[in-house]
């Protein structure tokens, strides 16, 4: 009989328990498809006494995940702890040094230490797999490393954080303010322990940096991702976008140019009738453009027990079948350093200001935009509330580069006619 593939699972939260349930419920199916049994031999978590709704009696217990990673009866270490450092990083390194393959759902760990971990894994002849770290149940990592391996990828873009998409769609659909939609998402358990990881775009930025590495053959460079969260988006912005036929999404985009690697994660306006515009709730979508295949759209659940456990098990099954793929699609030592570059492709921008009630205020703003080479396509000014002396002004520019717009925004803040900082969002005509 073929020997079983033995797993050690560290982290028994939603995803870890989901993996245990999948292996128990589908043991025969997994064996048939892998050609060998897949079993869990040992587990580790912060508390042994916690009721998780699943019996752990059949598994050895380790209080220390590093000890779990080094066990002789573990072939594959499954890291579901989370966090860029601490026990997650220490245990993954221990597993690789002990000759184990590793499967992880930890995007923060890989975004900050992916290059070093990949080099360690490949030098030891081990594989480091992370499908569950990006876009939940969508097999985007596998698509890039395998199915689209013959393509030169020209661009990646998508909605990669379900929590932000939920907040933005609830603001539009239910007419909620940002704070109201945020509280609702928090009450449903959608937010990370540090909510800024979600709403600040950091979580999605981690994911984008990993996909960029695979797509463009560069070392992971999360520090090079331009980040802008959704916290400044108001219900008024949602309504104005809708009036123009757009919806607001936290959109990631990456492309490699002669100037360097462009990576940005920011709220954008997208056509309401486009695949991205029609994306609702916690669903994720990744769009990959390749020179041979054209455009490929991957859509699915971006989080949750079932979808994320599915992604973990996809990696486990590949290892059980003997499939060995470099961490980022090609040997880590061949990945080139990524030189960050700001997006230079011109696009129209949505610009929202609060203009103080001063003579000539609007003329000063128009002059500043003109001096920066930014032309106005349309403009609308609204009456201000009685209790405030600032009126909201909406400007849509003609196509411009972000550097010119940033120059104009910097100059605007020196005019003395703005009540607060402007909000600028790129308009993507997909």
pLDDT tens sequence across 308-326: 999 999 999 999 999 999 9
Same domain, 108 and 147: no
Q: How many structural domains compose the chain?
A: 3
Domain boundary among 133, 157, 182: 133
310 falls within a domain: no
Q: Are residues 111 and 196 in the same domain?
A: no
User: 206 or 419: which carries more pLDDT confidence?
Assistant: 206
Six-digit token pair at 103?
A: 């499967």
* Residue 291's CATH number: 3.30.360.10
| Residues spanned by the domain of 148 | 143-302
**Mean pLDDT of the region 198-219:** 97
Does some domain include residue 9? yes
Q: Of 268, 272, 276, nearest to 424 (Cα)? A: 268
Tokens for 29, please give them: 């199916």
- 358 lies in some domain: yes
The reply to whether 21 and 72 lie within a common domain is yes
DSSP notation for 199-230: HTSHHHHHHHHHHHHHHHTB---GGG-EE--S
Label residue 6 by pLDDT band (50, 70, 90). Answer: very high
Same domain? For 258 and 361 the reply is: no
Q: Are residues 234 and 277 in the same domain?
A: yes
Q: What CATH number is attached to the domain comprising 56? A: 3.40.50.720
Q: Is 207 a catalytic residue?
A: yes
Task: Indicate the pTM of the whole model.
Answer: 0.94
pLDDT at 384 over 90: no
What's the pLDDT score for residue 388? 65
Instruction: Please tell me the predicted confidence (pLDDT) of residue 338.
Output: 87
For residues 18 and 284, give the distance between their C-alpha atoms in angstroms, rounded to a whole number. 20
124 plus 225 within the same structural domain: no
Please write the tens of the pLDDT for every residue from 326-340: 999 999 999 999 899
Give the burial class of 14: count Cβ atoms within 10 A of its Cβ; 0-12 exposed, 13-18 middle, 19 or more buried. Answer: middle
Annotated catalytic residue within 89, 107, 142, 207: 207
- Decide if 412 is inside a domain: yes
The DSSP symbol for 419 reads: S
Helices (H), 278-340: 305-321
3-state SS class at 32: helix
Taking the C-alpha atoms of residue 305 and residue 14, their distance in angstroms, rounded to an integer, is: 5
In a domain, 342, yes or no: no
Q: Tell me, what CATH number does 361's domain have?
A: 3.30.70.260
Shared domain for 187 and 116, answered yes or no, is no
Q: What's the pLDDT at 110?
A: 98
From 108, 311, 282, select the one nearest 196 (Cα to Cα).
108
Same domain, 122 and 184: no
DSSP letter at 85? S
């Amino acid at each position: 009989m073929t020997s079983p593939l033995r797993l050690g699972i560290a982290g028994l939260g939603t995803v870890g328990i989901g993996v245990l349930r999948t292996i128990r419920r589908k043991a025969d199916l997994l064996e048939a498809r892998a050609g060998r049994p897949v079993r869990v031999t040992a587990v580790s978590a912060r508390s042994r006494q916690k009721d998780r709704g699943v019996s752990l009696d059949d598994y050895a217990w380790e209080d220390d995940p590093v000890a779990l990673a080094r066990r002789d009866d573990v072939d594959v270490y499954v890291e579901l702890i989370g966090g860029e450092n601490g026990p997650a990083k220490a245990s993954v390194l221990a597993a690789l040094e002990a000759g184990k393959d590793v499967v992880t759902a930890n995007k923060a760990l890989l975004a900050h230490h992916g290059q070093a971990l990949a080099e360690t894994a490949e030098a030891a002849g081990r594989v480091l797999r992370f499908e569950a770290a990006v876009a939940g149940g969508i097999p985007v990592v596998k698509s890039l490393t395998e199915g689209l391996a013959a393509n030169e990828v020209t661009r990646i873009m998508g909605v990669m954080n379900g929590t932000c998409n939920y907040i933005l769609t609830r603001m539009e659909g239910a007419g909620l303010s940002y704070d109201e939609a945020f509280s609702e998402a928090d009450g449903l358990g959608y937010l990370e322990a540090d909510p800024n990881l979600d709403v600040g775009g950091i979580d999605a930025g981690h994911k984008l940096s990993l996909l960029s590495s695979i797509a463009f053959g560069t070392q992971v460079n999360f520090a090079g991702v331009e980040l802008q969260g959704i916290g400044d988006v108001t219900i008024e912005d949602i309504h104005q976008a809708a009036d123009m036929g757009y919806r607001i999404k936290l959109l990631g985009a990456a492309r490699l140019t002669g100037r360097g690697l462009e990576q940005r994660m920011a709220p954008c306006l997208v056509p309401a009738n486009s695949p991205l515009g029609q994306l609702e709730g916690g669903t994720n979508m990744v769009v990959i453009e390749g020179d041979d295949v054209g455009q490929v759209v991957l859509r699915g659940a971006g989080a949750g027990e079932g979808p994320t456990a599915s992604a973990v098990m996809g990696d486990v099954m590949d290892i059980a079948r003997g499939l060995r793929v470099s961490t980022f699609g090609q040997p880590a030592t061949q990945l080139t350093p990524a030189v960050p570059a700001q997006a230079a492709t011109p696009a129209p921008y949505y610009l929202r200001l609060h203009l103080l009630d001063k003579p000539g205020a609007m003329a000063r703003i128009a002059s500043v935009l003109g001096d920066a080479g930014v032309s106005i396509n349309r403009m609308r000014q609204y009456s201000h509330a009685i209790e405030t002396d600032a009126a909201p002004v909406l400007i849509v520019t003609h196509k411009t580069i972000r550097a010119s717009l940033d120059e104009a925004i910097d100059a605007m803040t020196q005019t003395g006619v703005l009540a607060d900082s402007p909000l600028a969002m790129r308009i993507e005509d997909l």
